[in-house]
């Protein structure tokens, strides 16, 4: 008996030189691909990258393990099934050889005695006569046997081949029965093997999904644990930025994280010390300047009484000195106030007020009574605010409009639920957008602002007072009756007095 022949067509088969060169070489434009990679990298946060990494690792590992498991299981099942099929086919071929030696004339009825598996078929070819006999000629004949297998067996060699028949996978075994002058073919169904292989494939896919989901879940927990210290650092940094200079991180049990905590706290200590030193310096200088400024103011008042005795030229010089001393006095007072605000020494004192009446009296007291006051609130209620801080914010905004924008054109107040909004409109030349944030800094003036006017601290003080009240001041463009200008908007959270 010849060897088994597999068929290839079967479905079952220090400063470095590089650093120096980078410094001396001209800058070359970055490629679009590098910019795309950088933008894509920046679009994913640390949590997303951690989740993606864990998910990809779990998916890749389970996929490789699944492929290996499926391939090994499939090969093993097909191999075991092939061994069983071959053994049974050769056994039946030997039995047919015995039958043909004694009862060759009754071969038609002998074939029906061949015991095949369910959904299995047997075909016997008598080579001298060229006749074919099938166990079930109505369902399976020699025409259904693969031609390659038929040709190989007729050439005197045993072989096997997998093929599809009636929508299912079968494996055919053919062997020559030389002593009896015949060729024997037997076909076995692989339906059960296909079912087991399909079950294994479903299990592998389910394992892949479960492993990937588990990896993503572990990545979520890991990223949450990793980002928790980062979140604490961000929260503490935000508290320091809001003025809580004594905010610090608590020590960590992890030595690597504790090193970060130690470095952050040391940095915060240095920043706090420097800020407090600058605040103390500004406060001390302002206090020290109060005495000579007071003396200068007293001397100027004495000279003012005899101003008529001075010549015209001396009167002009006296007016300049008077203006500059008063401006210097105002600047020192503003610096003292700003120092108190930044140091957190001043406390907020809220009381129930009628906001429309309060703003009306403030405007009249500081010679801004001619500016129209508009109240767009639906309900007229008493609210709790710090009247002194409201006064300071409003007066500074009105004074800024008077000095730099020809005066305010309207004051609009609006209260809705727990938010008070105050608009101060002017008809000035406006302010470039890139200067609208910096204008609230100390001694900040716009490029078009006249020199020598104001202290440059009014808007900074107004903003600090708004922050103490947990509010803010913003700047926007405003158009009214065809004229353009700026709108300073103060927003402050308030509580209504319902008593």
pLDDT at 373: 92
Provide the percentage of residues in the chain whose pLDDT is more than 70: 84
Both 324 and 361 in one domain: the answer is no
Q: Which of 162, 191, 220 is the last residue before a domain boundary?
A: 191
Average pLDDT over residues 13-27: 38
Both 182 and 318 in one domain: the answer is no
Both 356 and 490 in one domain: the answer is yes
Average pLDDT over residues 179-184: 82
Contact 492, 416 (CB under 8 A): no
pLDDT at 26: 43
Distance of CA 85 to the CA centre of its chain: 59
pLDDT at 67: 92
Q: Domain residues for 385? A: 351-497
pLDDT of 8 above 70: no
pLDDT at 295: 84
Mean pLDDT lowest for which of 40-44, 150-154, 313-317, 413-417? 40-44
pLDDT at 363: 92
Average pLDDT over residues 435-456: 69
pLDDT at 473: 92
Both 444 and 462 in one domain: the answer is yes
| Within a domain: 309 | yes
| Spatial separation of the C-alpha atoms in residues 223 and 217, rounded to whole Å | 10
| Within a domain: 155 | yes
pLDDT of 379 above 80: no
| Within a domain: 407 | yes
Contact 402, 363 (CB under 8 A): no
pLDDT of 382 above 90: no
| Within a domain: 127 | yes
pLDDT at 100: 78
Tokens representing residue 121 in the block? 């078929």
pLDDT at 6: 37
| Within a domain: 230 | no
202 burial type by CB count under 10 A (0-12 exposed, 13-18 middle, 19+ buried) = exposed
Mean pLDDT lowest for which of 44-58, 348-362, 407-421? 44-58
Both 339 and 357 in one domain: the answer is no
pLDDT at 371: 92
Contacts 24+ apart (CB under 8 A), 147-156: 148/7, 148/9, 149/7, 149/174, 149/185, 150/174, 150/185, 152/5, 153/183, 153/185, 154/125, 154/127, 154/183, 156/2
pLDDT of 336 above 80: no
**Edge to edge, what strands does the sheet with 159-165 contain?**
131-134, 121-126, 182-189, 168-177, 159-165
Provide the percentage of residues in the chain whose pLDDT is more than 90: 15
Both 360 and 487 in one domain: the answer is yes
Tell me: the pLDDT tens digits for 401-424? 888 888 899 999 998 878 999 999
| Within a domain: 211 | no
Mean pLDDT lowest for which of 134-138, 172-176, 195-199, 356-360? 134-138
pLDDT at 378: 77
The average confidence (pLDDT) of the chain is 80
Tokens representing residue 285 in the block? 């200088």
| Within a domain: 41 | no
Confidence of residue 108 (pLDDT cuts 50, 70, 90): low
CATH number of domain containing 328? 1.10.287.130
pLDDT at 19: 38
Both 458 and 477 in one domain: the answer is yes
Q: Which of 318, 343, 368 is the last residue before a domain boundary?
A: 343
Average pLDDT over residues 188-207: 90
Q: How many domains does the chain have?
A: 3
pLDDT of 394 above 90: yes
pLDDT at 226: 76
Mean pLDDT lowest for which of 104-113, 213-222, 257-266? 104-113
CATH number of domain containing 463? 3.30.565.10
Both 298 and 166 in one domain: the answer is no
pLDDT higher at 490 or 95: 490
Regarding pTM above 0.75, the answer is no
pLDDT of 431 above 80: yes
Average pLDDT over residues 4-19: 37
Q: Which of 310, 343, 376 is the last residue before a domain boundary?
A: 343
pLDDT of 481 above 90: no
Q: Report in angstroms the alpha-carbon separations of 476 from 391, 411, 436, 484, 485.
A: 22, 15, 9, 11, 9
Both 149 and 273 in one domain: the answer is no
Both 278 and 375 in one domain: the answer is no
Confidence of residue 450 (pLDDT cuts 50, 70, 90): low
pLDDT higher at 18 or 281: 281
Average pLDDT over residues 68-75: 91
| Within a domain: 54 | no
pLDDT of 345 above 70: no
Both 324 and 286 in one domain: the answer is yes
Confidence of residue 448 (pLDDT cuts 50, 70, 90): low
Confidence of residue 9 (pLDDT cuts 50, 70, 90): very low
Both 319 and 400 in one domain: the answer is no
| Spatial separation of the C-alpha atoms in residues 179 and 190, rounded to whole Å | 31
């Amino acid at each position: 008996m010849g060897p088994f022949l597999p068929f290839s067509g079967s479905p079952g088969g220090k400063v470095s030189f590089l650093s120096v060169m980078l410094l001396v070489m001209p800058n070359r434009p970055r490629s679009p691909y590098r910019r795309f990679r950088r933008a894509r990298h920046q679009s994913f946060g640390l949590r997303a990258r951690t989740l993606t990494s864990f998910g990809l690792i779990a998916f890749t590992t389970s996929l490789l393990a699944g492929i290996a498991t499926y391939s090994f299981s499939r090969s093993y099942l097909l191999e075991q099934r092939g061994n069983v099929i071959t053994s049974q086919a050769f056994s039946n071929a030997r039995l047919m050889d015995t039958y043909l030696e004694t009862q060759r004339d009754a071969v038609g009825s002998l074939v029906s005695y061949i015991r095949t598996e369910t959904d299995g078929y047997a075909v016997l070819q008598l080579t001298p006569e060229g006749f074919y006999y099938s166990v079930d000629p109505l369902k399976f004949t020699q025409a259904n046997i693969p031609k390659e297998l038929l040709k190989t067996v007729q050439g005197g060699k045993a072989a096997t081949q997998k093929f599809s028949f009636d929508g299912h996978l079968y494996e055919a075994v053919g062997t020559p029965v030389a002593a009896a002058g015949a060729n024997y073919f037997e076909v076995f169904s692989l339906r059960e093997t296909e079912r087991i292989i399909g079950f294994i494939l479903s299990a592998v896919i389910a394992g892949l999904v479960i492993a990937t989901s588990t990896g993503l879940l572990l990545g979520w927990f890991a990223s949450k644990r990793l980002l928790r210290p980062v979140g604490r650092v961000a929260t503490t940094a935000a508290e320091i930025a809001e003025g809580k200079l004594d905010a610090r991180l608590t020590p960590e049990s992890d030595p690597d994280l504790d090193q970060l905590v130690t470095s952050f706290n040391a940095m915060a200590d240095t920043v706090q010390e420097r800020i407090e030193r600058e605040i103390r310096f500004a406060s001390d200088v302002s206090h020290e300047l109060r005495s000579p400024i007071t003396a200068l103011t007293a001397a100027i008042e004495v000279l003012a009484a005899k101003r008529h005795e001075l010549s015209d030229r001396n009167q002009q010089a006296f007016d300049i000195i008077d203006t500059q001393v008063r401006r210097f006095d105002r600047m020192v007072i503003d610096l003292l106030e700003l120092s108190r605000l930044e140091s957190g020494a001043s406390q907020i004192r809220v009381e129930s007020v009628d906001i429309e009446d309060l703003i009306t009296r403030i405007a009249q007291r500081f010679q801004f009574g001619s500016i129209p006051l508009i109240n767009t609130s639906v309900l007229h209620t008493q609210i709790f605010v710090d009247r002194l801080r409201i006064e300071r914010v409003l007066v500074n905004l009105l004074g800024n409009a008077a000095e730099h924008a020809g005066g305010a054109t309207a004051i609009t107040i609006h209260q809705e639920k727990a938010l008070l909004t105050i608009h101060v409109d002017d008809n000035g030349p406006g302010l470039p957008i890139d200067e609208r944030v910096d204008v609230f800094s100390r001694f900040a003036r716009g490029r078009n602002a006249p020199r020598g006017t104001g202290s440059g601290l009014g808007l900074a003080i107004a903003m600090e007072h708004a922050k103490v009240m947990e509010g803010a001041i913003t700047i926007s463009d405003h158009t009214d009756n065809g004229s353009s200008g700026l709108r300073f908007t103060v927003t402050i959270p308030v509580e209504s007095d319902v008593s």
